Amino acid sequence: MENALVWKRKDLLGLEELSRQELELILSTAESFKEVSTREIKKVPALRGKTVVNLFYEPSTRTRVSFEVAAKRLSADVINIASETSSVRKGETLIDTGKNIEALKVDIIVVRHNYSGAAVMLARNLRASVVNAGDGWHEHPTQALLDIFTLKEKLGKIDGLKVSIVGDIAHSRVARSNIWGLTKLGAKVTVCAPKMLIPPAIEEMGVAVTHDIDEALRHADAVNVLRMQFERDEQSAFPQQLEYFKNFGITRERLEKAKKNIIVMHPGPINRGVEISSEVADGINSVILEQVTNGIAVRMSVLFLVAQANDNIKNENTD
Amino acid sequence: MLEKAKILDKDALNRSLMRVAHEILEKNKGTQDLCLIGIRNRGAYLAKRLADCIEKIETVRIPVGILDITLYRDDLTLVAAHPLVHKTEITFDIADKNLILVDDVLYTGRTVRSALDALIDLGRPRSIQLAVLVDRGHRELPVRADYVGKNIPTSKEETVEVRLEETDGKDEVVIIQKE
């Protein structure tokens, strides 16, 4: 049983291409890694001598910091590159940037990019491992994995759970990755949003659709509340925000009609009073901060598995 | 893979464990500050059994922890089959304790080296002693066991397999000839 499944991928690009067994391996490995963060010395030497580059073309603090903490707890060296301060500004292409980073003998590149497919493109052109930290509207696999890990930790299983995802489904990589991961593991997923924020043919991903928030909450074991991003122009955004909160915001009144122990998740950063009320965000159903803690274990698991697989690929090639 | 000889059967294995338990108690003058740490996988079961033996002798249950050393291995990238990472389960503070590290077979000494690193990262024990069911020689590092169930001189073309009720359905130690 020990060797029944081995992780063979040098990259983690999305959850769409993963098997149920691969998903379960990431989650069980993450379970083992969670203990490391509770130690006085929060570090193991598993990736000692490896270098991880965080290559971020979009602003991100929580995901980048989470990857950085995860890599450091595995004893890897970490370098952060933000596009604002790099030669990307000078017009260098993504692949050129990637090849230059690889020429520095870097082992893992964690990439966040506003172009869907950026991570896949990078992975195809590089021998280094590539971990997708969010690409356009496509996928954000480690966020979904940490959501699923948290759910599993709270409810003991994923199979048969009813999970509702509420918010801008059309433009959400978090939603897409969650849908892939949850459905593969046997959960029943419902998406809920105003009509214009539901992408066409979403049912083909195996989910139910509703535009009624109370219906989405009624039988759900968990609700994953997505961050709503309205226009930056505050004046026009404000009425929209009020409207959204009134119709789709997760409030105590709405939760009272749901299952008593419904789990409330949010990938953060939260907009209090837009997609979720403060009362719920800070309430007993909320696992928002536990998600942040679990993010480290999940990312340690992913970094460890891709690094190990890539070493094996290199060894096979030199034999 | 050819099974060459059975070295220990169920009774002999249990007698060895009981003797090792006595030796541990003798050397440590009782159970004060004593803890057992088993190395996954079979070492963990052996540690539990040693705790049972000690309980029979002294009527005191001493703490047992489980150590997973996958993340500390020096051959992590060399093995063809990937080892799975499991949890380390040590729920007590090891600072100032006398730890008995337990494993099934002592061979090159590399597992013990990894285990020592892993333990030191968890705290500062007063002492670490090593108990193994089988010492088969061929050390690659300066490591020595404090308690040995059975010394079995082997060649490198042989392997020693410890089988336990909990993992393999029966208790025995056999020598196997590699092909």
Say how many C-beta atoms besides its own lie within 10 A of residue B131's C-beta: 26
Examine residue B68 and state whether it is found in any structural domain, yes or no. Answer: yes
Query: What 3-state DSSP class applies to A252?
Result: helix
User: Treating both helix axes as pointing N-terminal to C-terminal, what angle do A20-34 and A173-184 enclose, rounded to 10 degrees?
Assistant: 100
Of the CATH numbers 2.30.40.10, 3.30.590.20, 2.40.30.260, 3.40.50.1370, which one belongs to the domain with range A20-140+295-312? 3.40.50.1370
DSSP letter at B4 equals E
Q: Compute CA distances A319 → B78, B80, B86, B179, whole Å.
A: 12, 12, 29, 22
Residue B79 included in any domain = no
C-beta neighbour count of B99 within 10 angstroms: 24
Q: Which of A247-261, A297-311, B75-89, B127-141 comes out lowest in average pLDDT? A: B75-89
Would you state the pLDDT for residue A233?
Answer: 58
Nearest by Cα to B179 from B35, B7, B2:
B2
Per-residue pLDDT at B87: 84
Question: Tell me, what's the pLDDT at A2?
Answer: 45
Q: How far is CA B86 from the centre of its chain?
A: 17
* Mean of pLDDT values over A261-269: 96
> What confidence tens digit (pLDDT) does each residue in A12-46 have?
999 999 999 999 999 999 999 999 998 888 989 99
Higher pLDDT, A188 or B75: A188
Active site residue A90: yes
Measure CB to CB from residue A6 to each of B70, B78, B81 and give the nearest one. Answer: B81
| pLDDT higher than threshold 80 for residue B179 | no
Minimal CA separation from A32 to chain B, in Å: 4
What does DSSP say about strands B172-177 and B158-163: parallel, antiparallel, or unpaired?
A: antiparallel
Residues B62-90 as b/e (b if ≥16 CB within 10 A, e otherwise) read bbbbbbbbbbbbeebeeeeebbbbbbbeb
Task: Say which residue the tokens 């991100």 belong to.
Answer: A60
pLDDT in tens, B98-155: 999 999 999 999 999 999 999 998 999 999 999 999 999 999 999 999 999 999 999 9
Rounded mean pLDDT of A74-98? 85
Active site residue A299: no
Which residues of A sit within 8 Å Cβ distance of B? 2-3, 6-7, 25, 28-29, 31-33, 35, 39-41, 43-46, 74, 301, 304, 308-309, 311-312, 315
Between β-strands A162-166 and A129-135, what pairing exists: parallel, antiparallel or unpaired? unpaired
Q: What is the mean pLDDT of residues A225-252?
A: 84
Collect all residues with Cβ–Cβ distance below 8 Å to B118 and sequence separation of at least 6.
A44, B67, B68, B69, B71, B72, B88
Percent of chain A residues past pLDDT 70, beyond the cut: 94
pLDDT value of position A316: 80
| Alpha carbon distances (Å) from A205 to A171, A176, A181, A195, A202 | 15, 9, 11, 17, 6
To the query of whether residue A140 is one of the catalytic residues in this protein, the response is: yes
Which tokens sit at A278?
């403060």
How close does chain B come to A180, measured CA to CA in Å? 24
Calpha distance A72→A76 (Å, rounded): 5
Confidence of residue A232 (pLDDT cuts 50, 70, 90): low
Given this model, what pLDDT does residue A3 score? Answer: 43
Say yes or no for a CB contact (<8 Å) between B85 and A33.
Answer: yes
Angle between helices A62-73 and A141-155 in degrees, nearest 10: 70
Which of A89, A90, A195, A246 does the annotation list as catalytic? A90
Domain count, chain B: 1
CA gap B178, B158 in Å, rounded: 6
Residue A238 pLDDT exceeds 80: no
Chain A residues with CB-CB distance to B81 below 8 A: 2-3, 6
B106 membership: H or E segment, kind and range = strand B98-106
Flag the least confident range among A32-36, A282-286, B63-67, B126-130: A32-36
* Cβ of residue B122 closer than 8 Å to a chain A Cβ: yes
Nearest to A5 by CA among A18, A16, A21: A21
Nearest chain A CA: its distance from B76 CA (Å): 8
Domain boundaries, position B40: 2-74+84-177
User: What are the helix (H) ranges across B30-94?
Assistant: 42-58
pLDDT of residue B2: 83
What is the C-alpha to C-alpha distance for residues A58 and A28, in angstroms, rounded to an integer?
A: 30
Is pLDDT at B12 greater than 50 in this prediction? yes
CA dist., res. A134 & res. A112, Å (int): 5
Residue owning tokens 């020689």:
B137
How far apart (Å, rounded) are the C-alpha atoms in residues B13 and B50? 12
> What is the distance between the alpha carbons of residues B23 and A112, in angstroms, rounded to a whole number?
58
Positions of CATH 3.40.50.1370 in chain A: 20-140+295-312, 141-292
Residue A65 has pLDDT above 60, yes or no: yes
Mean pLDDT of chain A: 93
For the A141-292 domain, the top CATH level (class) is alpha beta
Distance between terminal CA atoms of chain A? 27
Burial bucket for residue A10 (CB in 10 Å: 0-12, 13-18, 19+)? buried
Alpha-carbon distances of A272 from A241, A242, A275, A277, B27, rounded to whole Å: 10, 11, 7, 5, 63
Residue B79 has what pLDDT? 45
Q: Which residue has the tokens 């009527």?
A: B59
Q: Domain with B154 in it: what CATH number? A: 3.40.50.2020
Q: Which pLDDT value is given to residue A319?
A: 61
Q: Per-residue pLDDT tens for A170-192? A: 999 999 999 999 999 999 999 99
CB-nearest partner of A2 from B71, B84, B89: B84
Tell whether the model's pLDDT for residue A87 goes beyond 70: no
Q: What CA–CA distance (Å, rounded) separates A131 from A298?
A: 12
Q: Enter the ipTM.
A: 0.73
> From CA A271, how far away is CA A170, in angstroms rounded?
19
Chain B: give the shortest CA distance to residue A178, in Å.
Answer: 25
Most confident of A236-250, A280-294, B65-79: A280-294
| Spatial CB neighbours of A274, under 8 Å, sequence gap ≥ 6 | A228, A230, A241, A244, A245, A249
Cβ burial of A60 (10 Å; 0-12, 13-18, 19+) is: middle
The predicted pLDDT at position A88 comes to 66
Question: In the beta sheet, which residues pair with residue A56?
Answer: A82, A112
Q: Is the pLDDT of residue B81 over 60?
A: no
Which residues of B, range 25-54, sit inside 8 Å of A by Cβ? none
Span of A2-16, A27-41, B159-173 with lowest mean pLDDT:
A2-16
Examine residue B149 and state whether it is found in any structural domain, yes or no: yes
Most confident stretch, A4-13, A225-234, B13-22 = B13-22
User: What residues of B are in contact with residue A311 (Cβ under 8 Å)?
Assistant: 76-77
